[in-house]
A = this chain, B = another copy of it.
Amino acid sequence: MATRRGSAEKACEPLFARIAPAGPLDADERRAFIDAVVEILPIDNDRPVPVRSWPSFHLHVLVEGWAYRAQSLPDGARQITDVLLPGDFCGFALSTSHDSFQDVRTCGHARVAVLRKDVVAARGPAMLGRSLQWARDAEARILRSRLVSLGRQDARARVAYFLSEMHDRLRDVGLAEGGTFTCPLTQEQLGDVLGLTPVHVNRVLQKLRADGLIVFNRPDVVIPDLARLHAVANFDGGSFEG
């Protein structure tokens, strides 16, 4: 039980880092989350995250690894609408009836913490509401900034923007030090995020490498000069942050 409690504690750390901008949590509020952890699911590469449809009594938090939400078109094309990183909620905004359209899948090995909403709410209903609301709004901001990227940026800027976004979001939860982080996405998956073909993703990545803007040997990414990459991406760090 001590180890169980300990792992729940560790698992919640990225979550706390993620929702910190919503207002810092005191020790008691952190406990509320930690004690609400029912289980921590290990999930293999490319498997669906078992997020239940609304109304759900559980919160699902990605605590390790990457995941994404994707939607497929009749012609076989696929668009990844969300990239989920440690500390992100997997679950909300799933509609009552269309879970089948957009499912959440892991990318590499991942772990998902399942929390009981009522347990958190019992100890800090306002805090829980504020955290969830903030997380939702953050999600919407990310979606909007990605819309801008897909709508008005060319492939080079899109790739640069994506890497900038991943860097910042990972840094916020302590997973990117000195411009270095891990990105398990294949070039095909990158294409599905950015609305490009894998072939073109490849060419753009090579160009960015040749320009010294990035080092990318999957899964390792290094951004030597963030400011320069941001310039290519028209990236404004604040545009999707709270």
Q: Residue-by-residue, is A89-101 near B (CB-CB < 8 Å gives 1, otherwise 0)?
A: 0001101111001
Establish whether residues B141 and A95, one from each chain, have CB atoms under 8 Å apart when the complex forms: yes
Q: Which of A60-68, A108-116, A200-208, A232-240 interfaces with chain B?
A: A232-240
**A129 lies within 8 A of chain B by Cβ:** yes
**A241 lies within 8 A of chain B by Cβ:** yes
Establish whether residues B71 and A144, one from each chain, have CB atoms under 8 Å apart when the complex forms: yes
Establish whether residues A93 and B141, one from each chain, have CB atoms under 8 Å apart when the complex forms: yes
Partner of A79, one of B74, B77, B93, B151: B151
Establish whether residues A81 and B195, one from each chain, have CB atoms under 8 Å apart when the complex forms: no
Measured between alpha carbons, how far is A75 from B238 in the docked complex, in Å? 18
Measured between alpha carbons, how far is A145 from B93 in the docked complex, in Å? 12
A98: B residues at CB distance < 8 A: 238-239
Closest 6 CB pairs of A and B: A151-B195, A143-B143, A93-B140, A79-B148, A150-B150, A81-B144
